Amino acid sequence: MDFAIPEEERAFRREIRDFLATELTEEVVREAQSEDRISSAGKDFIRKLGDRGWISLTWPVDEGGAGRPAMDRFILNDELIRAEAPGAVGTNVGGRIVAPVLLLYGSEQQKRRLLPRIARGEIDFALGYTEPDAGSDLASLQTRAVWDGECYVVTGQKLYSTGAHFADYHWLAARTDPTQPRHGGISLFIVDMRSPGITVRPLHSMMDLRTNVVFYDHVRVPREALVGQENQGFAIMSTALSLERMFVTGDLRRVVEDLLDYARRTESGGRRLIDDVSVRRQLAQLATEVEIARLFSYRVAWQQSSGRHPGPEATIVKLFITELQLRLATAAIDLLGADGELIYGEAEAPLGGFFERFYRRSIMRTIVGGTSEIMRNVIAQRHLGLPR
């Protein structure tokens, strides 16, 4: 084992920071963290990522990428998330999730048509998996895609489709064969969001992040939109979900640093917070856990970079990081005392209310993208081999 960070990785980190210092304006950050997540400034920023070749960083050279190892994408995501920039979460679904899947399963035509535009940051996607009656149990999804001889005709409803209001395409999971057992009859499609019959309605969340319901009413989807084989969708979705599981800790490390800083300069009852033994221990404990999270996340990036397939490690990362974030956020608002109640954006709120909103957003993370309970099931059954 070797825990050293090679100079070339450090250099890439510096290069990203230099880029962010000039390109990541306050406006872009505000927009990226806003309810709607993205509009013109954010889209410009994503295009600049594309101009640098950073969206297609890890794609093979003959597919228009830079052929860099997954570690570089990890470092990029880590820095983006640390800086609250768009491109790492909630946005750039095309670059982060769709493109790697297309490289594995996409048709030549799909790759030719979509990859260059994804790489340039011109188009984005929204994920359409969850339905009212299919959350953790995705295999029970009911949206139907029926082949009528010319087209698939899609009818159904997708819930919590984040980014569907600005996405150009929907990455849609729908049932093509209702006679097959649950996992068997599902296919994946790339659907143009402008297709007649699609309606997007906002869902406003307590995290101040918009998500959506997407209604499909006899939407006609061409054969070319099918990704991979018909009824192969669940396997492709699993691959996509595991790609999504590249977790970074840039945001958590920053919060630990902000907390330390806050505790060092804030007085309460005549002494600094950091001089209180329970505060000291709690900060030390959280710093330890974030360091562990950092190692967990690096391990997955290393596996992906060196051609190993993250199995249980990727599940452990999701579980550990999201639960840690909640502990960290809870500690942060507790440290603020009564001021912790001041809402994000309130002038008097410490750090502009960052911790307050961080707490609300942390509650979401142990749910979205696979709940903690599902992660524990997976660890117990697939990793430890316990019987179902």
Ligand X SMILES: Cc1cc2nc3c(=O)[nH]c(=O)nc-3n(C[C@H](O)[C@H](O)[C@H](O)COP(=O)(O)OP(=O)(O)OC[C@H]3O[C@@H](n4cnc5c(N)ncnc54)[C@H](O)[C@@H]3O)c2cc1C
Write the interaction track for another protein spanning residues 252-281; mark x where CB under 8 A is met and - where it is not: -x--xx--xx--x---------x--x--xx
Would you give the DSSP letter of residue 284? H
Stretch that binds another protein, among 31-39, 156-164, 288-296, 331-339 (CB under 8 A): 288-296
- Whole-angstrom CA distances from 217 to 220, 228, 356 are 9, 24, 40
Residue 376 CB, nearest approach to ligand X (Å): 8
377 forms part of the interface with another protein (CB under 8 A): yes
- From the list another protein, ligand X, none, pick the one residue 260 interacts with, judged by a Cβ distance below 5 to 8 Å according to partner type: another protein
For 270, other C-beta atoms within 10 Å of its C-beta total: 6
Give yes or no for residue 101 binding another protein (CB under 8 A). no
Contact by Cβ (8 Å): 47, 120: yes
296 contact choice in ligand X, another protein, none (CB below 5 to 8 Å, kind-dependent): another protein
Q: How close are the terminal C-alpha atoms of the chain, in Å?
A: 34
3-class SS letters over 8-71? HHHHHHHHHHHHHHHHCCHHHHHHHCCCCCCCHHHHHHHHHHHHCCCCCCCCCHHHCCCCCCHH
Active centre residues (catalytic): 244
Q: Which does 144 bind (CB under 5 to 8 A by kind): another protein, ligand X, none?
A: none
Nearer to another protein, 150 or 267 (CB): 267
* CB of 72 or CB of 289, closer to another protein: 289
Nearer to another protein, 61 or 284 (CB): 284
Look-up: residue for tokens 């082949």? 147
361's contact among another protein, ligand X, none, with CB below 5 to 8 A by partner kind, is: none
How many residues of this chain bind another protein (CB under 8 A)? Answer: 51
CA 126 to chain centre: 11
Residue range at the interface with another protein (CB under 8 A); choices 24-32, 122-130, 193-201, 291-299: 291-299
Q: Which of 30-38, 121-129, 340-348, 374-382 is the region at the interface with another protein (rule: CB under 8 A)?
A: 374-382
Segment near another protein (CB under 8 A), from 29-37, 86-94, 217-225, 286-294? Answer: 286-294
Residue 296 tokens, joined: 């967990």
Per DSSP bridges, beta strands 125-128 and 169-175 are parallel
Interaction of residue 4 with another protein, rule CB under 8 A: yes
Strands (DSSP E) contained in 242-321 are: 267-268, 271-272
The residue type of 290 is V
d(CA 388, CA 370): 18
